[in-house]
Amino acid sequence: MNNLILVRHGQSEWNLENRFTGWVDVGLAAKGKLEACKAGELIKELNLELSYFYTSLQTRSIETLNLILNTMRIKDQNVVNAWELNERHYGALTGLNKDEMKKFYGEEKIHTFRRSWDNPPDPLKKTSPYHPLNINIYKNVPKDKIPDTESLKNTYERVIPFYKKNIEPKLEKNIIVSAHGNSIRSLCKYIFNLDNESISSLEIPTGNPLLIVSEKGKIKNARYLDKDRAKDLLVF
């Protein structure tokens, strides 16, 4: 048996403000820090030996993993920070309030931008301070890999090759991945073999560890550790 634990970062400062965040680097809100500590407590109760640790390059993902490990009293672990696990880039919507954009575009259009498989928002101008080219943490990411906007399909196309190369071969051990709503949706699409229509209905709660138990490459069980905040996985 092996265990893969996927955790969407705790509530961020821009989650709290209901803004499209994407590749903008923001920290955790107070509630998000509490969610991360609760996640650590829930994972600790599993009494697992964790061998590998992955996050995106984004602060909210890194902070979440750090708080989980601190809560579990795990120190001096080698953590892999990968831009491929970053949140989806929301293009020209970045930084804007979601409710205000619903009023401007209409709820159906915003839902399409947020949930559809292959419908990216308009690109973000490269001169914007929110563009990844102008954010210091991405200075070592190849410029031809930095997007101006992304659909979920685009996100999937960078997340899954990284997963196949770096994480999947290590699944004989227990692994934790701290990432984002859309990078985890991408992982779930691949792991659970969800079709393009089903993935639009999948929601990932903040700070609630998703435990995926497998044996010899076959999924035996998948569940959220915090039952009170669990979402439908569509497959179990």
**Active-site residue identified among 35, 63, 84, 87:** 87
* Residue carrying structure tokens 């973000």: 124
70: left (phi over 0), alpha (psi -120 to 50) or beta: alpha
Q: Are 38 and 13 in contact (CB under 8 A)?
A: no
Task: Going residue by residue through the chain, which has 236 residues, state the pLDDT in tens, using 9 for 90 and above.
Answer: 899 999 999 999 999 999 999 999 999 999 999 999 999 999 999 999 999 999 999 999 999 999 999 999 998 788 999 999 999 999 999 999 988 877 767 777 776 767 679 889 999 999 999 999 999 999 999 999 999 999 999 999 999 999 999 999 999 999 999 999 999 999 999 999 999 988 888 899 999 999 999 987 789 999 999 999 888 887 65
Query: Residue 37, exposed/middle/buried by CB under 10 A (0-12, 13-18, 19+)?
Result: middle
What is the structure's pLDDT at 218?
86
Q: 84 an active-site residue? A: no
**Active-site residue identified among 9, 89, 131, 180:** 9
User: Under CATH, to which class is 1-12+33-88+151-236 assigned?
Assistant: alpha beta
* Residue carrying structure tokens 């990284």: 162
Q: 17 an active-site residue? A: no
Structure tokens at 209: 């560890």
* Domain limits, the chain: 1-12+33-88+151-236, 90-150
In this structure, what are the phi and psi dihedrals at residue 218, rounded to the nearest 5 degrees?
-110, 130
